[in-house]
Amino acid sequence: MFSPAASPTSSPVCSPVRSTSKASKISKQLTTQLDPDLLRAVSLDRALTGWGRHWETPDNGMFNVDPKNYDLSQPIESLDVFLSHDWASSGKQKFLSLLIVYNSRAAFLACLVISVLVGVLRGYRVLPDEGWTVVIGHGSYLLVFLFWQRLRTLVCRPLMVFLDKLCVAQHNEELKQKGIEGIAAFLLSSRQLMVLLTPRGPL
């Protein structure tokens, strides 16, 4: 009599072998080396332009990207952040999430400084002691929250990020395949990994 563990047809014994074989096959297709011209990044302020238009998926999940969008990215030796996400999820939600992560701290500090300054100016009668002056602080928060990445480029270098839609060629199948197979190279060249997690899970 054979026990289930000893049975040659037992699925618990066979399944791991198939999974390992499949994973090994996929890993062989990936590479940690990529042509310097294909290792590209886009500045975060450009990735956030158009109120999140670069985060929306056209044509039911199929990329139909203007080749000019590829020119928004540039060859680079290292990236600041690798952005991982799910294309089937809401682009607006991802856009808002990135604003919260990367802009909210600067917006809070700007609002704090401006609000204190407004209070001092009201105390010295430079500004009228009226309620509408409070809006100045709120307005500064909104302004910095929406445009901080663009504002910071005036004083320091922009954050360079990986966004597959802009950093992997979508208009050329050969370049696209090389970019997909070189995802590991993008990851290894990134200082941080940002996963935009949704109920569907990250990409």
Where exactly are the structural domains of the chain?
A: 31-195
Query: What pLDDT is recorded for position 100?
Result: 98
What b/e readout covers 69-108, taking b as 16+ CB neighbours within 10 angstroms? bbebbeebeebbbbbbbbbebebeebbebbbeebbeebbe
pTM of the model: 0.80
DSSP 47-108: HTHHHHGGGSPPSTT-----HHHHTTSEE-S-EEEEEE--TTS-HHHHHHHHHHHHHHHHHH
Nearest CA among 146, 161, 153 for reference residue 103: 146
Burial degree of 48 (CB within 10 A; 0-12, 13-18, 19+): buried
* Close Cβ partners of 143 (under 8 Å, ≥ 6 residues apart): 110
Order of all β-strands in the sheet with 74-75 = 74-75, 40-43, 160-162, 79-84, 190-195
Residue 59 reports pLDDT greater than 60: no
Query: What pLDDT is recorded for position 47?
Result: 97
Question: What are the tens digits of pLDDT across the range 100-118?
Answer: 999 999 999 999 999 999 9
Question: What are the tens digits of pLDDT across the range 106-153?
Answer: 999 999 999 999 999 999 999 999 999 999 999 999 999 999 999 999
Residue 28 reports pLDDT greater than 80: no
Question: What are the tens digits of pLDDT across the range 41-57?
Answer: 999 999 999 999 999 87
Terminal-residue alpha carbon distance, the chain: 47
**Residue 89 vs residue 181, higher pLDDT:** 181
